[in-house]
Structure 1
Amino acid sequence: MESQIPQEWNKFILKDVTFVNLMMRRIYNVLIVANPYDAFMLEDDGRVEEKIFNEYMELGLRYPPTFTQVSTIAEAEEVLATTKIDLVICMPGTADNDAFTVARAIKGKFPEIHCVVLTPFSHGITRRMQDEDLSIFDYVFCWLGNTNLIMSIIKLIEDKMNLEHDIKEAGVQMILLVEDSIRFYSSILPNLYGYILQQSQNFSTEALNRHAANLRMRGRPKVVLARTYEEALGIYERYKNNCLGVISDVRFPYHSTKRSQIVGAGASSLEKDPEAGFKLLEAIRREDEFLPLIMESSESANRERAEREGFRFVDKNSKMLSVDLRHLLEEHMGFGDFIFRDPKTHAVITRIRSLKDLQDNIFKIPRDSMLYHISRNHMSRWLTARAIFPVANFLKHVTWHKLQDVDAHRQIIFDAIVQYRHMKNIGVVAVFDRGKFDKYAHFARIGDGSLGGKGRGLAFLDNVVKTHPQFNQYPGASVRIPKTVVLCTDVFDQFMEQNNLYEIALSDAPDDVILQHFLRAQLPDSYIDDFFTFFEATKSPIAIRSSSLLEDSHYQPFAGIYSTYMIPYLEDKYEMLHMLAAAIKSVYASVYYRDSKAYMTATSNVIDQEKMAVILQEVVGKSYGDHYYPNISGVLRSLNYYPIGDETAEEGIASLALGLGKYIVDGGQTLRVSPYHPAQVLQMSEMEIALRETQTHFYALDMKHVGADFKVDDGFNILKLKVKEADKEGSLQYIASTFDPYDQVIRDGLYEGGRKIISFCGVLQHDVFPLPQILQMSMKYGAEAMRRPVEIEFACNLNADKTGEFYLLQIRPIVDSKQTLVEDVAALPDEECLLRSNNSLGHGISDDVTDVVYVKYDDQFTAMHNPAVASDIERINQKFLDEGRNYVLVGPGRWGSSDSWLGVPVKWPHISAARVIVELVLRNYRVDPSQGTHFFQNLTSFGVGYFTIDTNRPGEGGLFRKEILDQMPAVEETALVRHVRFDRPLRIMMDGKKQVGAVLLPENEVVETNDQP
């Protein structure tokens, strides 16, 4: 057999590639133009700089890129004038400019610099890009809050810069990705690079010494993105001898006039050929009969044809998209293990994990399996993907056509590996150190993934407090975040994969069935010591909060969708560990509950893209017997859409409550106060209002409830107690007033007898604790740092000596629409309006809604049917989601209240297709405006209007012309709810600054109206 091997073999195999000469052109200086919140997400959560620094160190490079962050065009130009910037990344925008405006200004002055635009995903942005020439930018990406995208952008540009040289120098391979959908390639590139970088890490640590591993990682396959047929075919023709495989969409521009000059989103404005992908892959298949070709499409009908023509197929609509693609890469492009298969049955014969594995098994492989793989260059492709270019290149030329001898091939492969391994030292697998929680620190992470949305917000709040020492200027009042540890998203990935939970999680099984499967699964034992350290550091009950990638995202909030559990503090650490593990698994399970899946659909997200981090956090509060809760919890918003008296919208609003904050989230009765007007509390202005509209119940953690009997309802161990319980427990000092039934007055403070009113009088009017001042600072510094209005959750413990601790729990942005109104909504004539509100939430214009869904009511309306109303509306809403339509929703009382006597008890997924939500105050059913409490973040982010109309105050209270709807034929009608449809669209107008909104009738249906009674 030796005679079969070319004489130059030894000389060739020992002459290894000089990896140090690869990836010579780099991105060294990156300028990020973004508001401080986005920059903080990248730096402290995504740790882009740290990740890239680590990669460069591993690759043996001395100069990792540095990141400079600015917020305005002027600042950017100042940096560009003095620093050599290699890449400019423009994030979604600042208060003054959006990403496209910023990028265009920079590119206009510095045309030679690589420039990338990140834009949030929305239909408005998509429509805008179709009309713009974006070819001056290198790429346009869709910003979904995934910080790994920044890494992928840098890698993609570097791959493009080094492609020509590295292929000639070493035979580096490329993967050609053909895709013109910004949203899709923004999602797939981080996955693709994740697989590739993981692959390079695997092969470097398994079979190479540390120094060789560092250098060899430079030989990883490159990714090249093409967006038109001509661009893709041109790249393939040029580098076809070094193509590892092709992943192609089906529908994209073909024979375009702009051809490859089209860059980024510009391609989307060209006419797309529904068969472009087939034409491309067929042309490539004629050139190379064995090259792996993967077709991905959102049109499932393409599967049959693709597989008939010998292409692999991935369905873009699949919830398992990234998993499916990963399997295809491992199976056909040399990623992962090499699998010897039976050519007839395709059954696995042997799985090869390393070069040594291959060396040990090469003579054991059945002859027909060996022939199947060597005749298709599978071995060469696997070695190439592992950057073992000398062996791979040689074997690629020792083809079956030239050497039709299976045993000779075995010997060649064996000898090649032996000599290669002799030349290269095998390195030790690096031990991954997760790092333990330091009991002296108050914020730490376990894992190397993302912190998730709430985790990002907490880290950001911690940073805001540190950079503004004036928070702690008041004696006896400390401001901080609670002790926190975050289980990052990679812990979630590991848990899901090791316990094989995806099948049940992505099924249509009931929530409680999914929960039971998750509770039976196992968390790794390696975290036990970390958890014990955290127990010792906190010595308090622990809240286990969801912190998903999408939750509380800057642009796509998932507020209140997933679960938060609480567990009591126990002296028995193993019993507490048992409860903690159950709580973590229960939070993980909530990602896959029915409401979560519905919300994913409503927000155009794929559930497979969702990853869950978990926050373990000390619960703010004190022990009162068997109960645990804080004296004050609250939600603070820096924009007040319902200003009263001399309040202004910009002065913000706070909702305060006794007990756990879940009470506020669930829509309980809170005390509404402007931090700049703490003495003006509407609810305390009259005795009757104070008695009727102040808090009567509160939530506390049940410290006696011990065990792992966790339920889908995350409040299963939360007690709803009456305020008089708190009075007995002594937790009302400084926050309550007393009603004297004899004198019929309310007195500030606690007195014997009489009902206790939760008025927070001590902190609001009597300066016991500087709560108003701290709230003012929280709004001011939070909004300044995010460059936009914010919503902040907080809790506070008050002590008998008038000292206290104020804890910031969460911050998220209130996203405002920038649509401008040229008309005065308040001045619109009544005859043009279907409804009008002078107390509205929301801003913008839309004219694509034709449907109205409203609750049927009359003078005898009763709230007893509200749960049934909720059921009807949930079913109707699902039809709108299925059809991709929106509607106007009208009904009495508070939408989303957990108390069905105050309104219809719907959850957000049940009304998620509504474009405007209207709450009515009726003559016999008066419920104060809710501000859309539970839905606030969703309303503002999705541009949904929330109107209040008081039918008892004609003109001033607004207008609702129900008689028009009653006269129309119903699309659907139940005993409680009616759905009607206009022939032409209604026009929705909302002025967020003046808090007025209107829904206008189609022009041909304008009718005269009389004042309402």
Structure 2
Amino acid sequence: FGDFIFRDPKTKAEIMRIHSLKELQDNIFKIPDDSMLYHISRNHMSRWLSARAIFPVSEYLKKITWDRLKDITAHREIIFDAIVQYRHMKNLGVVAVFDRMKFDAYSHFARIGEGSLGGKGRGLAFLDNIIKTHPDFNTFAGTSVQIPKTVVLCTDVFDQFMEQNNLYQIALSDASDDEILRHFLHAQLPDSLIADFFTFFEAVKCPIAIRSSSLLEDAHYQPFAGIYSTYMIPYLEDKYAMLEMLACAIKGVYASVYYKDSKAYMTATSNVIDQEKMAVILQEVVGKQYDGRYYPNISGVLRSLNYYPIGDERAEDGIASLALGLGKYIVDGGQTLRVSPYHPNQILQTSELDTALRETQTRFYALDTRHVGNDFKVDDGFNILNLKVKEAEHDNSLNYIASTYDPYDQVIRDGIYDGGRKVITFASVLQHGVFPLPQLLQLSMKYGAESMRRPVEIEFACNINSDRKGALYLLQIRPIVDSKQMLDEDVAAVPDADCILRSHNSLGHGVTEDVTDIVYVKTDDRFTASDNPMIAREIEKINKTYLDSGTNYVLVGPGRWGSSDSWLGIPVKWPHISAARVIVEVALKNYRVDPSQGTHFFQNLTSFGVGYFTIDENRGEGFFCKSELDAMPSVMETEHVRVVRFARPLKIMMDGKRQEGAVLRP
């Protein structure tokens, strides 16, 4: 059926030759008017498309004749829009093989290689399909819902890279993380990828996130959330410099499979490291470019099951954690705003003035777009800026998401006003309907949970423009796995006298009867939050002894476990506490931090059926018999931590729907 040849109507000389639909889309505005008129008045365009079996566009254009329209510019626009819509429709829910002749700004999702997409890659394909099969996502004016432009390097690319560079020996050795990374950075990726990467740069024209998508990640029963690295690189006009950064980032993600923490995690989950295979996701970073930094207005994590319902919320109404800037801030346990999409007017954190001022987000993360080069570190956050919210004010990125504290009237006013501290409340979005985020999150939760047939966790990001138009990007979906154990007894009916500790704000579900040890932080008069980093190191060592012996323990300590801010709690990472069966946060009289949620190991807690209890004796919310443990002999003791052992196993009971939890004496 050949190419479409545009000719000069007078001389019949060839002006332009079109090979494909994408070429027609790219060149439709470059064809001279007289040639354009010659072809459309004879319906050539419709015929050519029909010959190529592109029937929907052909039929549509057939009806728009020159006699009816008589406007060349309008014709060009109609043809262009029809092609864009057709290509959009063709991409729906399909994981196409990456083709540099076809991938452009209108493509969404493609794969390079023949292997597996990995856990996150599958999740993205799944999200893409959910959005495309439910048109009510895009019924809100001025709002679009989509996944970011994504290319997945399948697992066979990883296999080829490991074998051609002989990396297994160093990878599986006891070498340090830095040494493993150095070897991987010196290795070579296949040259055949270069042209594909250049096409991807051209299509996204923005920073790129390089994320791990391993076979085990987001598996339905053992999600490996946050174990491997995610790097981000800025967009550069110099595509060779950008290529060098991208190659380093991909190799850095590959290397992270073999870091010390990953190996420890593998052991904890009874998986074998040399069976792990890594796909890598290249994804446009959602956000906007400001002066030397790049970030979105809103990032969030949405869960379709809320283990901390307040007021008239129900567990199944779900919960979202929202923050300004990159989502890494939420994952690292930063201060976020918690809101149920079905109750956007009911937000505990902004209900009282002093709470709102104390618990608002004060810092945010952004990509440093000036940090260029191949100095990649084991820490994947090496080029992420940790900024004060004040900086976002200079960027004018707080429109619709901040309120202003008026110190004279002692009130917080929704919106941005001169003077006064800015408080991140998302009030215009949640309460004033500037952007339909609550409704879109309700749809995401509903369709996500229906499609996976189980509760889900979804990561997302939003850009909202000054004209109130915006886009919601769904970044990842994974199941929340509830423990399979049945709970027959009523936890609330167990007498206090039988319990060592009790919480009315617990998360987790099931019964455990094989734990004898309690590991707890000494919270006497000498306790100070400045010791928290040292306490984290002591607990890591204690945890290792439990991993080695294959046993578990109950972990009790003050403030937020796993917070990246060591003043809010003990900054442990999941591998440092992976043998704990129940983790308890206790509020002290002079040290009260609100319960943590949305930290990275939250997903791991639910998948391993680990309980998470919050106790605040000052408010009468549960109790912890610490004096009883103090009187017992310790089996292990450090400067800040004690370990006590009971002769017979403790009984741990958790009711996930009612948020009741207790640890009973043997």
Q: What TM-score do the two structures reach when normalised by structure 2?
A: 0.84
Asked if 1:973 is matched to 2:631, the reply is no
State the SS of the aligned residue for 2:564.
Answer: coil
State the SS of the aligned residue for 2:477.
Answer: strand
Q: Deviations over 1:394-438 (max 9, x none)?
A: xxxxxxxxxxxxxxxxxxxxxxxxxxxxxxxxxxxxxxx975462
Instruction: Give the deviation of 1:745 after TM superposition.
Output: 1.0
Instruction: Give the deviation of 1:931 after TM superposition.
Output: 3.0
Asked if 1:595 is matched to 2:261, the reply is yes
Q: Could you say which residue in structure 1 is the equivalent of 2:147?
A: 481
Counterpart CA distance in 1 for 2:406 and 2:503 is: 39
Counterpart CA distance in 1 for 2:632 and 2:99 is: 66
CA contact under 8 A between 1:859 and 1:923: conserved in structure 2?
A: no
Q: Could you say which residue in structure 2 is the equivalent of 1:902?
A: 568
| 1:732-811 alignment runs, 5 A limit | 732-811=398-477
Following TM superposition, the consecutive aligned residue runs of length 4 or more in structure 1 with deviations greater than 4 angstroms are 433-437
Letter in 2 for 1:601: T
Q: Deviations over 1:590-631 (max 9, x none)?
A: 111111111001100000010000000000000111110000
CA contact under 8 A between 1:735 and 1:758: conserved in structure 2?
A: yes
Instruction: Give the deviation of 1:478 after TM superposition.
Output: 0.2
Q: Could you say which residue in structure 1 is the equivalent of 2:658?
A: 994
Asked if 1:933 is matched to 2:567, the reply is no
Counterpart CA distance in 2 for 1:443 and 1:880 is: 43
The equivalent position to 1:678 in structure 2, one of 344, 353, 368, is 344
Counterpart CA distance in 2 for 1:984 and 1:711 is: 46
Letter in 1 for 2:618: N
Q: Deviations over 1:708-756 (max 9, x none)?
A: 1100111111101111110011100000000111211110000001110
Counterpart CA distance in 2 for 1:932 and 1:461 is: 20
Instruction: Give the deviation of 1:861 after TM superposition.
Output: 2.6
Q: Could you say which residue in structure 2 is the equivalent of 1:331?
A: none
CA contact under 8 A between 1:931 and 1:946: conserved in structure 2?
A: no
Asked if 1:851 is matched to 2:517, the reply is yes
Counterpart CA distance in 1 for 2:114 and 2:485 is: 39
Instruction: Give the deviation of 1:932 after TM superposition.
Output: 6.3
The equivalent position to 2:174 in structure 1, one of 481, 489, 508, is 508
Instruction: Give the deviation of 1:860 after TM superposition.
Output: 4.8
CA contact under 8 A between 2:555 and 2:582: conserved in structure 1?
A: yes
The equivalent position to 1:960 in structure 2, one of 588, 605, 624, is 624
Instruction: Give the deviation of 1:667 after TM superposition.
Output: 0.5
Counterpart CA distance in 2 for 1:442 and 1:829 is: 57
Counterpart CA distance in 2 for 1:705 and 1:974 is: 41
Instruction: Give the deviation of 1:697 after TM superposition.
Output: 0.6
Cα 1:817–1:499 change in 2 (3 A) is: same
Count of residue correspondences: 568
CA contact under 8 A between 1:861 and 1:925: conserved in structure 2?
A: no
Q: Deviations over 1:874-923 (max 9, x none)?
A: 11111101111000000001111111111111110110010000000111
Q: Could you say which residue in structure 1 is the equivalent of 2:248?
A: 582
Higher helix proportion = 1
State the SS of the aligned residue for 1:545.
Answer: strand
Instruction: Give the deviation of 1:933 after TM superposition.
Output: 2.4
The equivalent position to 1:705 in structure 2, one of 359, 367, 371, is 371
- Unmatched 5+ stretches in structure 2: 1-96
Asked if 1:869 is matched to 2:535, the reply is yes
The equivalent position to 2:300 in structure 1, one of 622, 630, 634, is 634
Counterpart CA distance in 1 for 2:645 and 2:181 is: 40
Q: Could you say which residue in structure 2 is the equivalent of 1:438?
A: 103
| 1:16-31 alignment runs, 5 A limit | none
Instruction: Give the deviation of 1:820 after TM superposition.
Output: 2.2
Q: Could you say which residue in structure 1 is the equivalent of 2:358?
A: 692
Q: Could you say which residue in structure 1 is the equivalent of 2:199?
A: 533
Counterpart CA distance in 1 for 2:401 and 2:533 is: 34
Cα 1:519–1:699 change in 2 (3 A) is: same
Q: Could you say which residue in structure 1 is the equivalent of 2:132?
A: 466
Q: Could you say which residue in structure 1 is the equivalent of 2:396?
A: 730
| 1:247-262 alignment runs, 5 A limit | none
State the SS of the aligned residue for 1:494.
Answer: helix
CA contact under 8 A between 1:447 and 1:487: conserved in structure 2?
A: yes
Q: In angstroms, what is the RMSD of aligned CA positions?
A: 1.0
Higher relative contact order (CA 8 A, sep 6+): 2
Instruction: Give the deviation of 1:823 after TM superposition.
Output: 1.4
Q: Could you say which residue in structure 2 is the equivalent of 1:547?
A: 213
CA contact under 8 A between 2:321 and 2:598: conserved in structure 1?
A: no
Asked if 1:615 is matched to 2:281, the reply is yes
CA contact under 8 A between 1:917 and 1:946: conserved in structure 2?
A: yes
Counterpart CA distance in 1 for 2:579 and 2:521 is: 16
Instruction: Give the deviation of 1:819 after TM superposition.
Output: 2.3
Counterpart CA distance in 2 for 1:481 and 1:569 is: 19
- Unmatched 5+ stretches in structure 1: 1-432, 1003-1013
Instruction: Give the deviation of 1:765 after TM superposition.
Output: 0.6
Counterpart CA distance in 2 for 1:649 and 1:453 is: 26
The equivalent position to 2:113 in structure 1, one of 435, 439, 447, is 447
Instruction: Give the deviation of 1:441 after TM superposition.
Output: 1.7
State the SS of the aligned residue for 2:354.
Answer: helix
Counterpart CA distance in 2 for 1:975 and 1:582 is: 41
Instruction: Give the deviation of 1:974 after TM superposition.
Output: 1.0
Q: Deviations over 1:923-968 (max 9, x none)?
A: 11100000362211111111100000112133xx102111121111
CA contact under 8 A between 1:434 and 1:448: conserved in structure 2?
A: no
State the SS of the aligned residue for 2:355.
Answer: helix
Q: Could you say which residue in structure 2 is the equivalent of 1:68?
A: none
Instruction: Give the deviation of 1:682 after TM superposition.
Output: 1.0
CA contact under 8 A between 2:331 and 2:598: conserved in structure 1?
A: no
Counterpart CA distance in 2 for 1:940 and 1:481 is: 26
Counterpart CA distance in 2 for 1:932 and 1:471 is: 25
CA contact under 8 A between 1:639 and 1:651: conserved in structure 2?
A: yes
Counterpart CA distance in 2 for 1:837 and 1:547 is: 36
Instruction: Give the deviation of 1:555 after TM superposition.
Output: 1.4
Counterpart CA distance in 2 for 1:610 and 1:697 is: 36
| 1:352-431 alignment runs, 5 A limit | none
State the SS of the aligned residue for 1:592.
Answer: coil
State the SS of the aligned residue for 1:933.
Answer: coil
CA contact under 8 A between 2:333 and 2:597: conserved in structure 1?
A: no
Q: Could you say which residue in structure 2 is the equivalent of 1:828?
A: 494
Q: Could you say which residue in structure 2 is the equivalent of 1:87?
A: none
State the SS of the aligned residue for 1:526.
Answer: helix
The equivalent position to 1:946 in structure 2, one of 605, 612, 619, is 612
Q: Could you say which residue in structure 1 is the equivalent of 2:47?
A: none
Q: What TM-score do the two structures reach when normalised by structure 1?
A: 0.56
CA contact under 8 A between 2:98 and 2:151: conserved in structure 1?
A: no
Letter in 1 for 2:353: M
CA contact under 8 A between 1:570 and 1:576: conserved in structure 2?
A: yes
Counterpart CA distance in 1 for 2:346 and 2:174 is: 50
Counterpart CA distance in 1 for 2:302 and 2:473 is: 13
Counterpart CA distance in 2 for 1:758 and 1:827 is: 41
Letter in 2 for 1:605: N
Counterpart CA distance in 1 for 2:155 and 2:103 is: 20
State the SS of the aligned residue for 2:619.
Answer: coil
Instruction: Give the deviation of 1:570 after TM superposition.
Output: 0.6
State the SS of the aligned residue for 2:600.
Answer: helix
Letter in 2 for 1:980: V
Counterpart CA distance in 1 for 2:472 and 2:657 is: 31
Name which of structure 1's ranges 815-824 and 585-594 shifts more when overlaid on structure 2: 815-824
